[in-house]
Amino acid sequence: MPHTIPYRPSAAARKLLTAALAAGLCFNAVATTSHKVHPPPQAASKSKKKTSAPAAPLARYAEREDAMRFAEEMAARNGLQADWARHAVGQAGFLTYVPRLVLPPPAGTPKNWKAYRSRFVEPIRIRAGVRFWDRHRTALARAEAEYGVPAEIIVGIIGVETIYGQQIGNVRILDALATLSFDFPQEHPRARERQAFFRGELEQFLLLVQRGVLDADTARGSYAGAMGLPQFMPTSWSRWAVDFDGDGRIDLFNSPEDAIGSVANYFKAFGWKTGMPATYPVTFDTARLDLPGLLAPDILPTFTVADLATRGALLGGAAQQHAGPLALVELQNGEDGPTFVAGTQNFYVITRYNWSSYYAMAVLDLGAAVAAAREGVVRP
């Protein structure tokens, strides 16, 4: 799910999130959009992880006029039978806890990069990352060779998203997407835009079901509709998921190889530049520092090295030769002073997976930590 800042739930939402964790839900970041699919398999919709089921939906959408109208319009757009679409949407149920989970934190809620980072760059995740990389080193090396995306970045993404498949979520995708399509909280400041996004994802999910790629009843994932080891949204699955293990089908639930290739393909599609660092260290010349001007474009790469220097942000060493645009990235640390880095096009590409600079830095730092920890266990 696109975010411009990392999600920090309100106190009420934190209680819901705690209950969701106990129920096996995943609420890591969500791919922004989404994907190319081969025919398949019923196993693709079944997680190998056993988790307790979340509460069943209280009401189904079969009696909702807006849901049935959506089904009919979707059927017309895609050349499907209207009866099939109405039946499929009508099987979805309203999940009472989900709308509250997508609400932003109250205005003024402080952000803290150090606390956020500690959730992801920690011993359990690092050890799991070493095992994942060692077990799938051939697939990771092949993905790096074919797509130009470093193994370290792919490992960072899958680790942040699901701890390498340990937390893929246990919410029925059909219910989650229907709830956010037809009952998105209208008090959200971007309610219309977000509701339209989830309706598009529900449509893509149902198209995957209609083609036999996924099973509507058994497909499970996050409360926002993300699926599998890489937590792809349905559109991302349709556009960028690949059959990387060569078995004739795409399975992001049970095939780490497919997940590895799909993440790499996603990054390539969004413009990953092979060999380009994602960030550079930055220092400030306080006498001429124009911090508001540097931060105005947010994380969109906008400035040349010379532009940054003119505004008081200085790069050194190899960064002086960087040819592409750069962004000044600010990471707040609660009551402490913020952390700053210069972000390249590749940093921006990571934020296309989740629209958060905090998320992108967590991916980079986890990948680097796993690579460092793995140095002593690499096999020839």
- Tell me the three-class secondary structure of the chain, residue by residue: CCCCCCCCCCHHHHHHHHHHHHCCCCCCCCCCCCECCCCCCHHHHCCCCCCCCCCCCCEEHHHCHHHHHHHHHHHHHHCCCHHHHHHHHHCCEECCCHHHHCCCCCCCCCCEHHHHHHHHCCHHHHHHHHHHHHHCHHHHHHHHHHHCCCHHHHHHHHHHHHCCCCCCCCEEHHHHHHHHHHCCCCCCCCHHHHHHHHHHHHHHHHHHHHCCCCCCCCCEECCCCCECCCCECHHHHHHHCCCCCCCCCCCCCCCHHHHHHHHHHHHHHCCCCCCCCCEECCEECCCCCCHHHHHCCCCCCCECHHHHHHCCEECCHHHHHCCCCEEEEEEEECCEEEEEEEECHHHHHHHCCCCCHHHHHHHHHHHHHHHHHHCCCCCC
Whether residue 161 lies in the annotated active site: yes
Among the listed residues 161, 201, 203, 257, the single catalytic one is: 161
Q: What are the catalytic residues?
A: 161
